[in-house]
Amino acid sequence: MTSLKLRLLCFFAIYVSCISLIQPNLSQAFEVKPLVHELAPFGRKAASSLTISNPSDQSLPVEVTINRRVFDGASGETSVPADDDFLLFPPTALIPPGGTQAVRLQWLGDPELAASQSYYAHVAQLPVSPTEDTGSEVQFVLAFNVAVHVAPEGATPQVQVLDAELEKSADGRTILRTTLANAGSKHTYASRMAIVLSSPSASTTLEPEEILANKLDTFLPPGGQKTLRIPVGEGTWTEPVTITLQPRDAG
């Protein structure tokens, strides 16, 4: 065998070995439903269940933890463990191939909340020891953040427009920059309403589908603010601009 052929065979063997080490096993993907839970602080609505499905041909070890979403006035967000606020049962499970597992979320916090609180239930696949079957030393594990909101009875959002102005993007598009604030006692999403934009020279209505199409974070907790930048399409726009919000979905 020539030196060139030997080098090529060695290169091919090393390449295949590397692929087997780093290639994620997509057959181990799992599903979680529903991805949003709306709870009350007491009564029958103070509990919910999420279902984890394992469509793969291998057993799936998972763990569920809960974190509270903490917001500051500048729209920043952090998360902190909230084990005392919820009972998760079971918190860990080994789901058989093709099987499902229901996990109960039971509110244990204050039954007399003044305003809604928001959490993430973090559903994570647990790493397992590599085996001859998997042939992988580098593991890719999946995780889902499931939104969990707890709101007192009668709580409502109250979204206000703090400011609005038009900007030009680098590619020449007209962009609406607006800051919205939620002065109510319940969370909501800016994508649950249409934004009616008017100026002395033009007007348009930005429907929720258009807002969502820009992949914006539109979540507004009680007392929270959010600045959105949304393209407004063609037209000759002049300032000042005014905004009217029109609800499209209960929230």
pTM of the model: 0.80
Give the pLDDT score at 6. 34
Give the pLDDT score at 112. 96
Taking Cα atoms as reference points, which of 179, 162, 235 lies closest to residue 204? 235
Which amino acid belongs to residue 205? T
Give the whole-angstrom CA distance, residue 102 versus residue 49: 6
Task: Enumerate residues 6+ apart whose C-beta is below 8 A from 124.
Answer: 62, 63, 64, 65, 141, 142, 143, 144
The answer to whether 222 and 151 are in contact (CB under 8 A) is no
Number of H helices, E strands in the chain: 2, 18
* Residue entry with tokens 């917001």: 71
Helix or strand holding residue 240 (H, E): none
Query: Which pLDDT tens digit goes with each residue over 90-108?
Result: 999 999 999 999 999 999 9
DSSP 117-128: EEEEEEEEEPP-
Give the chain's domains with CATH numbers.
27-150 (2.60.40.10), 159-247 (2.60.40)
DSSP 26-86: GGG--EEE-SEEEE-SSSGGGEEEEEEE--SSS-EEEEEEEEEEEE-TTS-EEEEE-TTTE
Backbone angles phi, psi at 81, to 5 degrees: -55, 140
Strands 31-33 and 203-206 come out as unpaired
* Token digits of residue 52: 């984890």
Q: Which residues of the chain have pLDDT under 70?
A: 1-28, 73-75, 129-140, 250-251
Backbone angles phi, psi at 155, to 5 degrees: -70, 140
Give the pLDDT score at 201. 87
